[in-house]
Structure 1
Amino acid sequence: MRKFPVFNDKFQNLTEKNMSFEDVFQHIIRFMQSDPTGNYRLMFGTDSQVHKDDTRFITGIVIQRERKGVWACIRKVIVPRKMTNLHERISFETTLTEEVVSLFTEEKKNRLIDIILPNIYRGASLIIEGHIDIGAGRKNKTRKFVKEMVSRMESIGVEPKIKPESFVASCYANRYTK
């Protein structure tokens, strides 16, 4: 049995498997170039599910052109043990999101900005968000981690979103953790 997480550097979606990060980045570039006047949201989020012998983590990357479509993919990481400690699991989800966000270096972010920059005065925009699968509701078990995880997203320069606005983690990634 493996003692360490099975890190996967490949991404996939419904139409493509085994994409490198560079493949993912090129998809995002082409998606944005198809309408450089669009309002874009580049969103990242991770969800997890404890299974019989392991814990599965799915990180989603979603580029959305508001009211005009999306392109998305996921990356899977498997930890070969049951991670039952909620703080450990939420923290690891946030770490995996941070890891994928870090692949978007300043150079790569500038390439995305350069696509929309000539159209800023025509309404073009790009927002980068980190979706965290936690909520601040009184009955939510994860509410005590909100400040910590939100601070982590802010520290890497992404706009944090928690439930109910964190749909990349709580809906898109969640779908693939089962």
Structure 2
Amino acid sequence: MQHHTKQWRKLTGEYLTNYLEDEVLGVILREKEQGHSLKVCIGTDSQVKGTFTEFATAIVFIRKGKGGFMYLNNETTQEKMTIKQRMMTEVSRSIEVAYRLCDLFTSHNIDMEVHVDINTNPIYKSNDALKEAIGYISGMGFNFKVKPEAFASSCCANKVVQ
């Protein structure tokens, strides 16, 4: 399996120079100092482009009532996947990031959700992975949203894989 990973970056394109955990802790401390109440949503989307599949993961920080900002990561693979495998890979990437950061969010009393770009309508192929995805996320103990409420994956991550 061949992967190409880019560093985490801000929406401006500026790449992080320190570890993601250190960046997120800095964000939490800065935002709390400024009096903002935060919520975090993590989601992944993917797009097949010829023989490559590109995945984008977004960590969206919402300042309750005052906008928000996000961090992004892209990765490409040449691995062939069914739609169900691709949907579960999206979920897995989001859970990996959520798990990596959840202790930070918990210790600072910040709500976090995993957003899943899977359609709840059975006429869509992505729906085949819905039951497994919900079980996986619930089993990890995370709150989640699915389409159409899953904006971190459906809107934010989606914008950087098109």
- TM-score, with length taken from structure 2: 0.87
The match for 1:72 is 70
Matched, 1:91 2:75: no
Matches within 5 A, 1:11-50: 11-15=8-12, 16-19=14-17, 20-21=19-20, 22-35=22-35, 38=37, 40-50=38-48
> Displacement of 1:136 after TM fit?
1.1
The structure carrying a bigger strand percent of its residues is: 2
| Cα distance between partner residues in 2 of 1:131 and 1:174 | 12
Q: Deviations over 1:68-102 (max 9, x none)?
A: 12121111111134x45101101111111111112
The match for 2:129 is 145
| Cα distance between partner residues in 1 of 2:106 and 2:39 | 15
Equivalent residue for 1:155, pick from 130, 135, 139: 139
The alignment partner of 2:3 has SS state of coil
| Cα distance between partner residues in 2 of 1:33 and 1:155 | 34
Change (3 A) 1:176 1:13: same
The alignment partner of 1:44 has SS state of strand
Identity %: 26
Structure 1 stretches of 5 or more lacking a match? 114-125
Q: How many residues align?
A: 159
The match for 1:167 is 151
The match for 2:115 is 131
The match for 2:56 is 58
Structure 2 stretches of 5 or more lacking a match? none
The alignment partner of 2:29 has SS state of helix
| Cα distance between partner residues in 2 of 1:30 and 1:155 | 32
Structure 2 counterpart of 1:156, which letter?
A: M
| Cα distance between partner residues in 1 of 2:141 and 2:29 | 20
The alignment partner of 2:86 has SS state of helix
